[in-house]
Amino acid sequence: MTKMPASPEQENVARAFLAARAEKTPLTLYPGARPQTMAEAYAIQGAAIALDGRRLGGWKVGRIPADLVERYQDNRLTGPIFSDEIFDGSAGQVPAMPVYAAGFAAAEAEVLLCFGEVGTRDYDLDSVRDCIADVRTGIEIASSPFVEINRHGPAVTASDYGNNKGLILGPSIPDWRNADLIAMPVEMAIDGDTVGVATMETMLDGPFGSALFLIRVLRARGIAIPPGTWVSAGAITGIHEIIPGQRADAVFDGKIRVSCTITG
């Protein structure tokens, strides 16, 4: 992927998404020419990040469907998570997470990796663990004012912050360096009803593969990864649509729970 600056038209798309998010105005149509490549999507996303001005606290990573990998030349996408939308749920707190009620909203059970010092070295799937300082359970809130955010391919999804609206940091996974994360059972419930059960075997090469992907893509985009940066490594049990007033609970390994409620 080659880094490309945003064109004036792409900057206008970024401004339209920022305005819709700020004013909580639903978008029924994409606000401009839809990006056709991931480079175009990241140009829009990068312009929005610059215009937004908030501090970045992390990045979400999502999977690109197998039948679209060849077209988009990658198997994952990413989007920013802003520091003021990261909440602690590690000690039983149940944060209230706002979404765009008239747009798209979902909750996803995810493993969260915290980067330590990344530096400039090359990594592989094993050595990337060396720059991970913590691994936690968590829930990503996916929400966009564009109701069809996930219906037009990964480039459209990536262009609006990767469809992210926040992150809940759950408890750390004990002895994560030696734990078999891939085989860990994960269950997601909404209002007490189970909506998904899976393991991380569904996540390509797992959460550390997501970290490896993120390092590669952010380096290509010229974006630094300071220590303390979180990566939400990808939906484990699925993308579960949710509405204000509902509660989401993710349970990892049958005993580690992280929860949130949803507001409009």
CA neighbor of 40 nearest in space, from 4, 9, 13: 4
Domain assignments of the chain as residue spans, ordered by start:
8-263
The pTM (predicted TM-score) of the whole model is: 0.96
- Taking the C-alpha atoms of residue 5 and residue 9, their distance in angstroms, rounded to an integer, is 11
User: What's the confidence (pLDDT) of residue 2?
Assistant: 63
CA neighbor of 102 nearest in space, from 16, 21, 168: 21
Beta strand extents in 74-150 (DSSP E only): 76-82, 86-88, 96-98, 104-115, 132-144
Q: Give per-residue pLDDT as tens, 99-138.
A: 999 999 999 999 999 999 999 999 999 999 999 999 999 9
Cα distances (angstroms) measured from residue 13 to each of 16, 103, 159 = 5, 17, 9
Confidence class for position 3, pLDDT limits 50, 70, 90: confident
User: What's the confidence (pLDDT) of residue 183?
Assistant: 95
User: What's the confidence (pLDDT) of residue 222?
Assistant: 96
CB contact set of 13 (below 8 Å; sequence gap of 6+): 30, 31, 32, 33, 44, 159
Residue-wise over 145-168: b if at least 16 C-beta within 10 A, else e?
bbbebbeebbbbbbbbbbbbbbbb
- Taking the C-alpha atoms of residue 143 and residue 240, their distance in angstroms, rounded to an integer, is 11
User: What's the confidence (pLDDT) of residue 4?
Assistant: 78
pLDDT at 179 over 70: yes
Q: How far is CA 107 from the centre of its chain?
A: 11
CATH class for the region spanning 8-263: alpha beta
What mean pLDDT is reported for the chain? 97
Count of alpha carbons within 13 angstroms of residue 248, beta-carbon side: 34
Mean pLDDT computed over 21-41? 97
Beta carbons within 10 angstroms of residue 105's beta carbon: 25
